[in-house]
Amino acid sequence: MTHPADTHCPYCALQCAMTLTPTIGTTDAAASASPDAHVHSAPVTVEGRDFPTNRGGLCKKGWTSAELLRSPSRLGAPLVRGADGALHEASWDEALDLIATSLRDIRSEHGADAVGVFGGGGLTNEKSYLLGKFARLALGTSRIDYNGRYCMSSAAAAGNRAFGVDRGLPFPLEDLDGADTILLLGTNVAETMPPFIGHLAGAQAAGGLVVVDPRRTATARLTDDGKGLHLQPAPGTDLPLLLGLIHVVIAERLVDLDYVASRTVGFDRVRRSVATWWPERVQSVTGVAALTLKRLARRLAAGGGTYILTGRGVEQHVDGTDTATAAINLALLLGLPGRLGSGYGTLTGQGNGQGGREHGQKCDQLPGYRKIVDPEARAHVARVWGVDPAVIPGPGVPAIELLKLLGVPDGVRALMVHGSNLVVSSPNVRDVRAGLERLDLLVVCDFFLSETAALADVVLPITQWAEEEGTMTSLEGRVIRRRRALTPPAGVRDELWILHELAERLGSTAAFDTDPAVVFEELRLASEGGLADYSGIDYAMLDRGDAAYWPFPRGSRGTPRLFADRFAHPDGLARLVPVTVRESARPAPTPGTDEITLVTGRLLEHYQSGAQTRRVPELLESQPEALASMHPATAERLGIGDGDEVEVVNHRGLVRCRARLTPDIRPDAVFLPFHYGDEQAANLLTSDEVDPISSMPEFKTNVVSVRRIADAASVRLPEETGVLA
């Protein structure tokens, strides 16, 4: 292929538009050459393309994305673990036959639910859809979930119970351009999706950009010079902060009473629930001054265009659903959702985090965001699939519970992993790795030998973004086209093909097409009538560049802005849901000890588990290792100097890295990025306790101690809780 292809970035949910042009000398023959003849330079050039989200801009990750397409470390043939314990290249027939035989034996001996599937928020809509169908029909298992459980589950649960629907941004991103005030809670968009900050310029100019984060991040620094306000609450105190804001809004009569009366229910219960969160009490808990809290509440209520946006920083907690719910309550009391020029939304992280959770990867959902326990939903999807509804398994278990079942009696004996790097991205990594090692069969589809793929019995090399067709759904709920610019190398295969081949070997009579356009047509039918209705969208309209925001029923023009007239509950009203602070929700550092709170997060140069970005030389050179960011006062108290080698440790594990001293973090916290593996995996230290509603793990606030390695030489964890090899 030699013509340019208009497509979108393979990383975050901003889905920046780009054009890929094959470089001079790149041909199909060269592109499909043996893996032993990898081209070391990028086979396509990348140009930013004008699009409403990125307006031609890209971040470092986007500009360098093509370098991975012909990376020398890319997998070029299936790998099968031999009797010697090592992985060896095999033919596709050999690998697929082995998988199918093992799966049949495991299902025969232990039942269908002994096979699990773990998906990813980076898969196209077509792959997400077919993976859910494959799990339930070809495998017959209920045990499927995906890594979006780590990303969007709390925000989704809060949105569903408040609005009756979960769409990250219920308005186009461009709407933010006209805002006077934007409240960003727990998100560092300047580093995670840099082109996003162009949409904050209006609020900055009006002095109304407000950032809530315990660190003075690049996003927080956008508020400097009178452009806004940075609130730096104690880690894990976002819920009290929001309850305090609601208290002020009610006490100072800033509530939009007409909106609340006509468009919501539950106000009286919420009013009573926040009565004890007066500003001075909030100050004592969060460290945010009472006067600052009042000033912010008044700013939010002043009108002129106000938006409240949440991110993972307030959601990746055991009380994440309640915290996101409190943010929604605040927005509803101010009359923001559904009002043109104002609104509430949550920022989806993974590239297809929105579409990936709509069409069947979640353990309790069928395509179209249908509930798997709903008889009408089961009947509709069964008609599309051509099966009896009774054949479709019931609800499975969410990701953390699924991982705890690995290799245990009556648990999961085989696991198929698509688009996830579990032993870097999952909490309590030591236990996850142990579970994977107990399995009878671990199959991983990946581009590279990730930390998880290195543990697999079979590794299947798959196509990358620039080598495939399909659709993605951006953080706005906009369905967009992914287009192929290159022929993939000869030894790799598309996951649609892999699922088709395995389904045939397993004797499934259901259809598993390999053409993404055909799969999308089936997805349209399966989603029709559901909350996430794609039935009015097709490839032809997407190829014309038509905007396609779901819900997009057949014959409609789509829904760029939700909630203008009604919410998605049957009565059309939003729910104000009272939430409370559970004092025992998470452990706190013990006073008088060297314990502090660990905060995890992202860096500009890397993405998710780093399985891709750590293989891009420019990105790795910029951030080659994990650094433990600490306040100088904290470091002085612990006898730690800038650049010292340290151990960050708790009862779950130990991370070895170097210290970085910065005044941009609170003295009661230490920050670790979560993009690194092995002994620098931040998730060695994180808890697998989960939110009772969303099953989101506690990623953001875990108790740790930090020691200079020289001082810690005589202090070690028991061997069973030590560092992963």
| pLDDT tens figures, 88-139 | 999 999 999 999 999 999 999 999 999 999 999 999 999 999 999 999 999 9
> pLDDT tier at 3 (50, 70, 90 boundaries)?
confident
Could you give the 3-state DSSP secondary structure of residue 160? helix
Residue whose tokens read 């395509």: 367
Cβ neighbours of 83 (radius 10 Å): 6
Query: Which residues have CB under 8 Å from 612's CB, separation 6+?
Result: 10, 68, 447, 448
Question: Among residues 721, 39, 40, 683, which one has the least CA distance to residue 422?
Answer: 683
**Could you tell me which of 706, 573, 572 has the C-alpha nearest to residue 635?**
706
The pLDDT, as a whole number, for residue 41 is 67
Structure tokens, 64: 């360098």
If DSSP codes are grouped into helix, strand and coil, which group holds residue 222?
helix
DSSP string, 399-432: HHHHHHTBTSTTSBSEEEEES--HHHHSSSHHHH
Structural contact between residues 53 and 94, judged by C-beta atoms closer than 8 angstroms = no
Let me know: does 358 contact 160? Beta carbons within 8 Å. Answer: no
Q: Report the distance separating Cα 50 and Cα 261, nearest Å.
A: 42
Q: Give the separation between CA 404 and CA 211, rounded to whole angstroms.
A: 36
Dist CA 123 CA 138 (whole Å)? 19
Q: Tokens 């951030």 label which residue? A: 623
pLDDT for the residue 725: 28
Read off the pLDDT of residues 23-46 as tens digits, 9 standing for 90 and up.
965 544 334 433 333 334 689 999
* pTM of the complete model: 0.94
Quick one: fold of 153-346?
Dimethylsulfoxide Reductase; domain 2 (3.40.228)
Question: Which comes out higher in pLDDT, residue 3 or 427?
Answer: 427
Environment class of residue 128 by beta-carbon count within 10 Å: exposed (0-12), middle (13-18) or buried (19+)?
buried
Between 158 and 351, residue with greater pLDDT: 158
Cα 198 → chain centroid? 22
Q: What is d(CA 571, CA 576) in angstroms, rounded to the nearest whole number?
A: 14
Q: How would residue 713 be classed by pLDDT, with cut points 50, 70 and 90?
A: low
Q: What would the mean pLDDT of 285-298 be, rounded to a whole number?
A: 98
- Output the pLDDT for position 590: 86
CA distances from 636 to 145, 632, 667 (A): 44, 6, 11
CB 323 within 8 A of CB 239: yes
Give the pLDDT confidence of 208-252 residue by residue, as tens digits: 999 999 999 999 999 999 999 999 999 999 999 999 999 999 999
Structure tokens at 515: 């053409």
Strand-pair category, 414-418 with 115-119: parallel
Q: What pLDDT is attached to residue 634?
A: 97
pLDDT at 584 (0 to 100):
72
Amino acid 550 reads: W
- 712 falls in which pLDDT band (50, 70, 90)? low
What would the pLDDT profile of 410-468 be if each residue is shown by its tens digit? 999 999 999 999 999 999 999 999 999 999 999 999 999 999 999 999 999 999 999 99
- Amino acid present at 90: A
* Identity at 212, one-letter amino acid code: V
Question: CATH for 79-150+352-467+501-530?
Answer: 3.40.50.740
| Whole-number Å distance between alpha carbons of 373 and 366 | 9
Residue 625 CB coordination number (10 Å): 10
Q: Where are the alpha helices (DSSP H) in 506-601?
A: 516-527, 539-543
The single residue listed with the structure tokens 């509803």 is 332
Share of the chain above pLDDT 90, in %: 92
pLDDT number for residue 24: 64
Q: Note whether 79-150+352-467+501-530 and 153-346 share their fold.
A: no
- What is the structure's pLDDT at 714? 45
Residue 173 pLDDT more than 70? yes
CA dist 329 → 72, 219, 303, 368, 585 (Å)? 51, 24, 17, 26, 21
Q: For residue 1, what pLDDT is reported?
A: 52
Report DSSP state, residue 593: S
**Contact yes or no for 634/627 (Cβ under 8 A):** no
Query: What does the mean pLDDT of the chain come to?
Result: 94
Assigned token pair, 375: 């008889």
Q: State the first-to-last Cα distance of the chain, in angstroms, to the nearest integer.
A: 43
What is 595-721's CATH topology? Answer: Barwin-like endoglucanases (2.40.40)
List the domain boundaries for the chain: 79-150+352-467+501-530, 153-346, 595-721
Bridge-partner residues for 310, per DSSP? 185, 346
Task: Sort 302 into a burial class: Cβ within 10 Å, 0-12 / 13-18 / 19+.
Answer: middle
Phi first, then psi: what are they for 690, rounded to 5°? -125, 160
Q: Catalogue the E-assigned strands of 86-130.
A: 87-89, 115-119
Residue-level pLDDT at 662:
97
DSSP assignments along 671-693, one per residue: EEES---GGG-GGGS-EEEE-TT
Q: What distances in angstroms separate CA 114 from CA 458, 467, 552, 630, one per listed residue? A: 18, 33, 37, 44
Break the chain down into helix, strand, coil percent, rounded to 5: 35, 20, 45
Return the beta strands (E) in 164-263 as ranges.
Answer: 181-185, 209-212, 228-231
d(CA 606, CA 651): 28
Each residue's pLDDT tens digit, 180-210: 999 999 999 999 999 999 999 999 999 999 9
Confidence at residue 721, expressed as pLDDT on a 0 to 100 scale:
37
CA nearest neighbour of 260 among 164, 334, 207, 310: 334
The residue ranges of DSSP E strands in 147-219, in sequence order, are 181-185, 209-212
User: Do residues 673 and 606 make contact, with C-beta atoms less than 8 angstroms apart?
Assistant: yes
Whole-number pLDDT of residue 587: 79
Query: What is the C-alpha separation between 663 and 216, in angstroms, rounded?
Result: 8
Dist. CA 486–CA 32, nearest whole Å: 9
Among 405, 398, 418, smallest CA distance to 118 is for 418
Instruction: Give me the residue label for tokens 């930090």.
Output: 706
Residues 6 or more apart whose Cβ sits within 8 Å of residue 510: 133, 137, 138, 385, 386, 387, 503
